[in-house]
Amino acid sequence: MKIFSGVDLISNRRIERAYSRFGERFLNRIYLPSEVYYCKSKVEFINCLSARFAGKEAFIKAFYKAFGEVLSFRDIEIVGKSGRPAEVILHHRKEILNNCQIDISLSHEREFSLAYALIILM
């Protein structure tokens, strides 16, 4: 068994500025429609987006360590489940994860969002 990890911390203000400046163009470049829909249903819309941004960054880092490939933000979907941990869906090279366990943890507060991703190769 091998374990690969990635972590990312982001200022929520950074995501707020990008969204204010570029609007839907920013959202479409980084997020999938289901992620935007989920976050727009939340009171803390920007914090939700920030946590997903950090999650994508953390997963990209772990994936690169595990497989030596760089993913794009839109290759990754972070599925929110109210009251349960988020899940990662890979939309690029899904078969590579057949013998893997993926864990991701997202957290956000007023100023920052944090994510930690694990890929465990069985």
For residue range 20-68, list pLDDT tens digits in order.
Answer: 999 999 999 999 999 999 999 999 999 999 999 999 999 999 999 999 9
Whole-prediction pTM:
0.95
The type of residue at 96 is I
Say if residues 117 and 61 touch (Cβ distance below 8 Å). yes
Q: Are 35 and 77 within 8 A, CB to CB?
A: yes
Q: Which fold has domain 2-121?
A: Ribosomal Protein L22; Chain A (3.90.470)
Residue 46's φ and ψ, nearest 5 degrees, are -65, -40
pLDDT digits (tens, 9 = 90+) for 76-97: 999 987 778 899 999 877 788 8
